[in-house]
Each structure stands twice: as structure tokens, then as C-alpha cells.
Structure 1
């Protein structure tokens, strides 16, 4: 099968390679000419044989909006766009309607696998019409892990990115739990080998997981994480998960707390903690730490 791929960064570049290894033709475009197979979106569309399929793998928000708007003007009736970035699911509906006016189909694909996906495959959560998904199923088969799992047609347009959003919200909570446990163990004077405690959990325990394996890997590189600043970005999905929980009256306290913990990481001297310290001093006479 032949497919166009827009965005050849860490994820997109590896996806291009994995698809090609499966015997398919990929025409790739990226703003960095050193990565691209063609010089523009227009050239990419002209290179592909109709009916075309174009996979968009660029950052969420305006980059995705701009790419899909440009593709809407370049593609023809019967063509198909797959958004495999981390777009918010509400944007999928807007993009699908825009492309529908041009006679172009739309599929949203939540993609998980990170830099390991080239060798291990990518988990794919896909939203859209059955016939549209069927058209590009050979590409999904090439990208997903070997075996029967790793791919799901989650539902209508938006379902793929909604599912990926919840996946990432769960990931926030799991990572926060591991981080809190690590800090607590590091603070305990009687525990002298924290790294190996974590390693011991990778076999036989109910919390064994790939995330745990990756934390052990990180501790092998830097046992006390002394070279890393305690600052963590959030890429959007955690916020969207919390907002969806509010909209649907579904409580998400663990995910919400993990998101707020990331906000705390950005403050070298938390203003909130200043107020709490001051209050503790006022009502209980507790000492405050001053600069």
C-alpha cells in the first residue's frame, strides 16, 4: 500500500521506517528538508496515486489545524486523512466536517509507543467509519505490535483520540505513584538500596509494568536522579482528561492530583506553601523557613 506521512520527528520518522519494513510505500514530508522525501505538501499529494491516504503526525493545535486545512484544499474526493498526533478529540469532529465538505474521509488515531515503537510496535486506538478504517488497515497492521492485541476500532470520529487521552491520564497517575514511592524510599534512612528495591518489584508483584521497568532503567543511568531537575511538563492530555471528567461528572481524583503535582514541579518556591507555612505558624506556632 502507498501512504503519505506528514511529520517525521521522533515518532513520525520511526513510523515511516516501520511501515516501509512491512513492504509499503511511504512518501514523507517534514518542514526539515533533511528528513523529507518531498519538498511540500502539494508535492506529496501530487506524488501519491488516487485515492490517496495521508497520515498527519504533527503537534496538536495550530500545526495540525494548518496541515489539515492545507490538505483539504489539495486532496480530491475519495481521499482520506488520518490524524495520528495527540489532537484533542473535540478537534477531530471539526476536522472531519471540514474534510467531508471536500469529499475527503477522516480517521483519528491515538498512537502510543514512543521511541520504542519502531521495534516493539505501536498501540493504536482508532475512531471513524468502518469503511475508512478498512482502507488503511494494512498500515495499521504494519504499525501495531505482532499478535492479536494492540489495535482497536474504538468507535466514531473522536473515539480514538478520546481513548488515547484517557490512556495518558492513567499514565500520569501511574507515574506519580512511582515517583512518590521513590521519594519516600529515598527519604527512609533504613532503606539503603532504593534502586534494587524497585528492581525487585519487576518480577512477581502486582505493580510490575513497563513503566516500572523504565524507572529501573533510569535509576541504572543515574541512581539518585541527581542530574535531573524536578520539573515535568504536561503535554495536554492530562488536562483534557480532567476536563472531560468534569464535563461528564466522572470523578478522576488520582489523575487530577498527578496533573497538579506537575504544576507544583514548576515552582522553585511555591507561593501556596508560603501561605500554608504562615498559617501553621499562626495557629500552631510552627517554625517557618526563611530565606
Structure 2
């Protein structure tokens, strides 16, 4: 299948590479000339694809995605399809779908997870949109997902993919915070001689064994006691959105809310827990860390 890819950053470039390895033809565009792009403008990207076109967009939420979709709305033809693989708020998906739909252009939203590991191992894909539009890009989704039964879900209509990813990221916050707090207690205890070795021991046979635990252990091997990482971890908008929607739904989320507050507090403090969270964010997603 031939597809356009807008945004060749940490995620977009790896996704394009996985698609090419899987036999698809990808035409890539990025605003940066150093990105390895195939074309140097959105117009050139559209011109390089035969109708009906499919274009996957991997740019940040907010102004970048708004601007990109506005431009695509003017450049694309009826029957074309846009896939938003970023972290757009689900309510905005619905507004985007309405605006594009008025021009006969479809929209599929795809929540995407697995960061820098996805190129080799595949991405968890949470998809929102009509059955017809999702079916059109099924070969692309099948190539991007991990091998095996799981890793791909058509979660519902427009906005459902990003809603599922929003909840996913909230859960991620809570899980990382629990691991980080546990490690901080080990570090503070006079009874524990080697807290890094304790974490290593939990990787097999333990109820809490997990990929995140493996990543924490790997980070501790590379930087014992996380001595060179500052205890600051940024927060993303998605967990705020999830907590807000949970309040509207009457669903308590105390663990996830506490994890969000901890990240906010890390901007004015420097606790061990945030050293561990920062290390985990870098390990699974390539997010930058502040060095000490």
C-alpha cells in the first residue's frame, strides 16, 4: 500500500521505516530538511500520491496538528483519508472529522504506543473511526502492530482511539509512579544494601514483573542509583484530560491523580521517585531527561 507520512520525528520516522520494511511505499514529509524527508512541502506530498489518498500524520497535538489538518483540508480531494496518529484530544477528533467530512475527506484517529521500541517490536494501536475507513488502512495497521493476537483494537467511532490512548497513558502514570516510589523506599532504607539488585531480582517470578520493571532495571544498570538523573519528570496533557473526564463520569482515579501531582511537584523538588520516573520515560519513549 502507498501512504504519506507527515512528521518524521522520533515516532514518525520509525513507523515509516517499519512500513517500508513490511513492503509498503511511504512518502515522508517533515518541516525539517534534516529529517530525511522525501518531499519538501505538503503540496508535493499530496501530488506524489494517487487518489484516493491515505496520509498518516504524526505531529504534536495543539497548533501543529490544527495547522496540518487545516492545510490538508484545502489540498486533499473527496474520498481521501487522513490518519491522526498523534496525541490529539478526543473531543478535537470529532471537530476535525466534522470539518474534513464536509469536504468529503475521512478521518481515523489512532492512539499509538511503544515509543522508540516500536520499529522492531511493533506498536500498540488504538483506532477510532468508521468501519469503512479503518478497513481501508488495515494493511498498514497490520504491519505496524506487533506480531500475534494482540496490539490492535478498533475501539469505536471517531475519537475512540485517542480516548483509549488517553486512558492508557493515565494507567502508565500510575504504574511508573508505583515502581518509582518503591525504588525510592529501597534507596532510603538503611537495611537494604543494594537496592538496584533488589529491583533486578523482581524481574522473574514476581507478581510485579513487567516490561516497565525491566526498563527500570536496565536504567539502574546503566546509571547505578540513578546518580546522574535529575528528579524532574514532565507531564503530558493526556492524563489531565483523563482525570477531567473521569470526574465528569463519576469514576474515582486517586492513584493516577496522585501520579500527576507528583510530576507537577517534581518541577519544584528533586525526589528520587522522579529520578526513576524520568529514567523510565527515557527508556520506553526516548523522552529527554535532565542530567545532574
Tell whether the structures are fold-level matches, with TM greater than 0.5.
Answer: yes
CA RMSD of aligned residues (A): 1.1
Aligned to 1:222: 223
1:265 Cα deviation from its structure 2 partner: 0.3
Q: How far 1:268 moved relative to its partner?
A: 3.8
Equivalents in 2 of 1:125, 1:73: separation in Å? 27
Q: 1:102 & 1:33 partners in 2: Cα distance?
A: 31
The answer on whether the counterparts of 2:154 and 2:161 sit within 8 Å (CA) in structure 1 is: yes
Give the Cα separation in 1 of the matches to 2:118 and 2:23. 17
**Alignment-derived partner of residue 32 in structure 1:** 32
Per mean C-alpha deviation after superposition, the further-off stretch among 31-40 and 95-104 is 31-40
The number of residue pairs the alignment matches comes to 270
Report the equivalent of 1:263. Answer: 264
The aligned residue for residue 105 of structure 1 is 106
How far apart are residue 72 of structure 1 and its match?
0.4
Alignment correspondent of 2:17? 17
Give the equivalent residue in structure 1 for 2:135: 134
User: What is the SS of the residue equivalent to 2:153?
Assistant: strand
Alpha-carbon distance between aligned partners in 2 of 1:237 and 1:223, rounded to the nearest angstrom: 31
Measured after TM superposition, the shift of residue 235 of structure 1 is 1.5
Greater relative CO, 1 or 2 (CA 8 Å, sep 6+): 2
Shift of 1:269: 9.0
Checking the alignment, whether the CA contact within 8 Å between 2:232 and 2:270 is kept in structure 1 is no
Secondary structure of 1:171's partner?
A: helix
* Residue 34 of structure 1, CA deviation: 2.4
How far apart are the structure 1 equivalents of 2:241 and 2:200?
A: 33
Corresponding residue for residue 160 of structure 2: 159
In structure 2, the residue corresponding to 1:224 is in which secondary structure?
A: helix
Query: Is 241-250 or 22-31 further displaced after alignment?
Result: 241-250
Aligned positions of 1:267-286 closer than 5 A: 267-268=268-269
- For 1:138, what is the secondary structure of its paired residue? helix
Task: Give me the whole-angstrom Cα distance separating, in 1, the residues matched to 2:270 and 2:25.
Answer: 53
The Cα shift of 1:228 comes to 0.7
Deviation digits for residues 127-174 of structure 1 (CA, Å, limit 9, x no counterpart): 000010000000001100011110000001000000000000000000
User: Are 2:190 and 1:189 aligned?
Assistant: yes
| Corresponding residue for residue 210 of structure 1 | 211
Query: Which residue in the other structure is 1:282 paired with?
Result: none
Distance apart, 1:249 and its partner CA: 1.1
Do the aligned partners of residues 269 and 84 (structure 1) sit closer, same or farther apart at CA in structure 2, a change above 3 Å counting? closer
Cα displacement (A) at 1:102? 0.6
Unmatched runs of 5 consecutive residues or more in structure 1: 271-291
Q: Which runs of 4+ in 1 moved over 2 A?
A: none
Partner of 1:74: 75
> Match of 1:2?
2
Tell me which structure has the larger Cα radius of gyration. 1
2:15–2:144 CA contact under 8 A, matched in 1 = yes
